Amino acid sequence: MKPLMKKLSTAFLFTALTFAVAGCGTNEEEPQAEVEAEVEQESTGEGAVEEQVVEQIRMASWSQPIVEQSNLYLAEQNGWFEEAGIDFEYIPGAGGGDAVRNIVAGNADIAFANVEAVLLAMEQGEELRIIYNIYPENVFNLVSLKESNIESVEDLRGQNVGVYSLASGTYQNLLVLLHQAGMTEEDVNIVEAGVLNFGPLMNNQVVATAATDTGLFDAQSKGLGDVNVIEVKDVLNTPADVFVVTEETFQEKKDALIRFLQVYRDSVEYTMEHPEEAAQAAVSEAIDGQDVERNVEIINIRNQTSINEEMKEKGLGWLNTDILIEVAETYYELGLLSERVKIEEITTNELVEQLN
């Protein structure tokens, strides 16, 4: 409404001044020209203060709002998105596949998703762009109680194994481990256990569960006991999560995406320096954020996985295309992709390079 009123006021001023000058006679042409120039300068020219256009960015997440995303809540509460002209909306999901499907369907602008979900969408012909590396290291693992004597992936044959959901990175990384061991998902019974997927493990409903570093920490703090852990990064060090958009969004909302990524990166850096403040922000926003001390521990773990040596030089969010090519080729070799995909063609540091 304000831009419209500004335009109307300017138009009225121009009309009034024109008639006033015209009424003084034809010898006043030079002053009239000066007035017109001043009005033009006020409305469109140098010295005008332009109002920043507010654009909506709907972020589809792989999860419900959880503590490890506290930098986002901090950015919202401190008004950093608003200052950047971003109307931010968090859209929850149940796995990276959900997040990617939301942007493909037009329900969101950007997806917070695992790389595996992006690869599978590419195989289906979706036109996507990977624009930011959220967590450059693979944080997925396979956890079992020591008493179960699961020493290797081969020991899982015929057993119940938990995952967050069949649309999640836990499921896809479990498949990586199975294929590496010469097995398929038909050799085990995969159980969808939900985001708190250590419950079935602690209740002996599954012999092992696919999880993440923060999930393991949380379970251990609740009395999980002695465990055996198989790290997926020892098989394939896939970046855990990335920001991905459709090609259409990349082309049409580039400026808004840059502003969003700038706030995101700034909030991560701030959270690294002020984990306690981020922990407080999570209390009212995250479904698992009621324990502030736990929040701090989870945030510190995630802060460590938000940066690697390459990013220390090139900045948070930098994408290593060579690693992503290796991941895509491994997925094809393992049979998780039916055909090769050229992930290097959709991976770009163009927006990251424009961040401060």
Paired tokens of 131 = 């624009």
Burial class (CB in 10 A: 0-12, 13-18, 19+), 312: exposed
Give the count of beta carbons closer than 10 Å to the beta carbon of residue 296: 19
The answer to whether residues 294 and 221 touch, using CB atoms and an 8 Å cutoff, is yes
Please give the pLDDT value at position 194: 81
Please give the pLDDT value at position 50: 56
Identify the segments of the chain with pLDDT beneath 70: 1-50, 196
Paired tokens of 64 = 């419900």
| Residue (of 109, 76, 105) closest to 243 by Cα position | 109
The answer to whether residues 51 and 251 touch, using CB atoms and an 8 Å cutoff, is no
* Predicted confidence (pLDDT) per residue in 268-318, tens digit: 999 999 999 999 999 999 999 999 999 999 999 999 999 999 999 999 999
Residue 245: CA count within 13 A, CB half-sphere: 22
Please give the pLDDT value at position 95: 85
* Predicted confidence (pLDDT) per residue in 39-85, tens digit: 444 444 444 445 778 999 999 999 999 999 999 999 999 999 999 99
Residues contacting 87, CB < 8 A, separation 6+: 54, 55, 56, 57, 81
| Residue (of 320, 319, 322, 325) closest to 342 by Cα position | 325
The answer to whether residues 181 and 175 touch, using CB atoms and an 8 Å cutoff, is no
Please give the pLDDT value at position 1: 35
